[in-house]
Amino acid sequence: MQRIHTPFLTLLFTLIMSIFSSHTAYAATAVASVSENQVTKDEVFLLRVSTNEKVSSDALDLTALESDFYIGRPNFGSSIRIINGSRTVSSEWTITLAPLRLGKLTIPAFDIEGAQTLPIEINVAQNKAAPTQDQMAEFKLDLNRDSLYVGEVAILDVKLIIKADPRRLQDPRIDPPSSSSLKVEPIGESKQYQDVYHGKEVTVVQQSFEISSDTVGKFELRGPKLTGAVVYSANNSNKTRLFQLDTPVQTLPVEILAIPGDAQGDWLPTADLSVNQVWSINDTRLTRSPEQLDLEAGDALTRTITVSAKGIKAHQLPSVNVQYPNSVRVYEEKPQFDKTDSGDNLVVYKQVLIPKSAGTIELPGLEQAWFNTETKQKATSQIKGLTLNVTGNSDAPVQAPISTDKPNNVEVVTTYQPGIWPYLTALFAFLWLITSVFALSLWRKKGSTSTVTPKVVGKDETQAELIDAIQRKDALMASAKLSQWQQENLDLPQQHIDTVKQEIDTLNQHLFGPQTDGGSGWSPNSAIDAINAANRNRTIKTSDQLAAL
């Protein structure tokens, strides 16, 4: 056997050891450390994680900490240092943590592109001086009604009182009131202002909500909730703490009552409904509402009717349909919706009435039926009519009388120098005559080849919304859309409209009556057929009028 020379073995061993040493020197390492491992609940401490490799900021996954710690926003940085020819690379994360519960918590090992840190154990003790939830923030709820009828609206007023410095809030989140069976809708925008509460300056966030339901029964309304954190320091310590906000949720009972069995017509539940009117003559408002009024033919009499109701939505406000005599010309403006000073919905109808001729004209009053939810009784609000004593208008143009006498034959001879004007006049007259003949020939040619197609009125947007509400068996919306459709189309046949109203009343009983079946026993076909028939008859009438033209 041939022997291997000793110098060769020595050289081979040295080469292998140098390669191994080089790999060990440049292997990636990762280290995790904390500023404190004995802390109290809510106490803030720092976690540092570093590696000797250049990595991206998302190489560290902190998801495993979420169940036990509040995690602040990580601060990341990487650097390269060259000292005496030696190159050093480092990447480091600094994270603010605060424990969420008591006991022994573990910061697990992190894997950073193959390099792993060691786990760290954190002992968390009770902070006896920690504030309570209501010392940091609390909610005040005010529900004006806890028992309401189908279609009625209750108002929930919510005030969030923040007693801590709002600048120290971390990731605050407000969950609004909610319910699985009640409709909860915010009213307008929230308000934020400074106030004094129990002698302490606080920040108040206020928001109101509408509470309603189409389902009869007893339900629960869950109040709002505030989550997040507050940074604070104890008076006897310079340590920074992070209080976890998690306000308790209040629960309010709400009962929805069924529509009484003897209710007829449009269902209008409200604690108060008022109907008022103002008369004006030629834009001059009358200081009182008279029973009789002297007026001249052609004068404009304006009737402004205001309807306001408490505890219903704007689309539930009743429409005004006054049947005026044919001796009065009526011009109606588009209804204007608004709110009263107390926040109730109102609608304003403005009608301009112009008498056509002299005589006595009776303008009818108006009655509006509604259901008083306070007394649980039927009620009626009304405004009076007005008697007009119309006289002829003395300012009207007077036709000059026609004379029957023959005029005297008087011959007047005027001598003047015509100049160039008669010739220019004759030229323009000749050009006008040629133009008229040319236009007449074009008109006849065009008229012989064109036909006039009368425009047929189709389903408008309101009609489509009415049919959609009926198909969805939304009785309240269907009633509102029917009133709007009538107001926009005054030529709808009344017999078909009455059929639709009867079908909606029947649907109300199926939905909200004492023996409700949720509308399963009612079919929308009859109501939709009546709507289409009303539109079709109106279309035929309009087409006939166009054809006559």
**Tokens 């539940």 sit at which residue?**
269
Distance CA 241, CA 44 (A): 5
Confidence of residue 438 (pLDDT cuts 50, 70, 90): low
Classify residue 530 as exposed, middle or buried by CB count within 10 Å of its CB (0-12, 13-18, 19+): buried
Q: Which of 226, 393, 204 is closest to 294 using CA atoms?
A: 393
Distance CA 91, CA 49 (A): 8
CB 503 within 8 A of CB 511: no
Confidence of residue 341 (pLDDT cuts 50, 70, 90): confident
Give the pLDDT confidence of 77-116 residue by residue, as tens digits: 888 887 887 778 888 999 989 998 899 999 999 998 888 8
Confidence of residue 393 (pLDDT cuts 50, 70, 90): low
The helix or strand, by DSSP H or E, that contains position 370, with its residue range, turns out to be strand 366-372
% of the chain with per-residue pLDDT over 70:
78
Phi and psi at residue 23, to the nearest 5°: -65, -40
pLDDT value at residue 506: 83
Continuous H helices in 3-132: 6-25
Q: What distance, in Å, lies between the first and last C-alpha atoms of the chain? A: 128
pLDDT value at residue 544: 47
Residue 315 per-residue DSSP state: G
CATH class of the domain comprising 30-125 = mainly beta
The average pLDDT across 528-548 equals 68
pLDDT value at residue 218: 95
CB 231 within 8 A of CB 219: no
CB 10 within 8 A of CB 16: no
CA angle 539, 543, 549 (to 5 degrees): 150
CB 236 within 8 A of CB 199: no
Distance CA 102, CA 68 (A): 9
Residue 291 per-residue DSSP state: S
* Single pTM value for the model: 0.58
Question: Is residue 240 classed as helix, strand or coil in its secondary structure?
Answer: strand
Distance CA 191, CA 366 (A): 40
- Residue 169 identity (one-letter amino acid): L
The helix or strand, by DSSP H or E, that contains position 426, with its residue range, turns out to be helix 421-449
For the CA atoms of 180, 184, 189, 193, the dihedral, rounded to the nearest 10 degrees, stands at: -80
pLDDT value at residue 343: 85
With respect to CATH, is domain 133-257 assigned 2.60.40? yes
Question: Is residue 305 classed as helix, strand or coil in its secondary structure?
Answer: strand
pLDDT value at residue 450: 37
pLDDT value at residue 443: 45
**Tokens 């061993």 sit at which residue?**
13
The average pLDDT across 434-451 equals 47
pLDDT value at residue 350: 93
pLDDT at position 457 over 70: no
- Residue 403 identity (one-letter amino acid): S
The average pLDDT across 289-310 equals 89
- Per the model's pLDDT, the better-predicted residue between 151 and 235 turns out to be 151
Phi and psi at residue 110, to the nearest 5°: -105, 140
The average pLDDT across 247-270 equals 91
pLDDT value at residue 195: 94
Distance CA 16, CA 498 (A): 103
The CATH code for residues 269-391 is 2.60.40
CB 269 within 8 A of CB 149: yes
Q: Is 343 left (phi over 0), alpha (psi -120 to 50) or beta?
A: left
Quote the tokens at residue 288: 């009182």
pLDDT at position 251 over 90: yes
* Neighbour tally for 534: CB within 10 Å: 23
- Per the model's pLDDT, the better-predicted residue between 329 and 392 turns out to be 329
Q: Which of 80, 28, 78, 69 is closest to 47 using CA atoms?
A: 69
Give the pLDDT confidence of 121-154 residue by residue, as tens digits: 999 998 887 888 999 999 999 999 999 999 999 9
Confidence of residue 43 (pLDDT cuts 50, 70, 90): confident
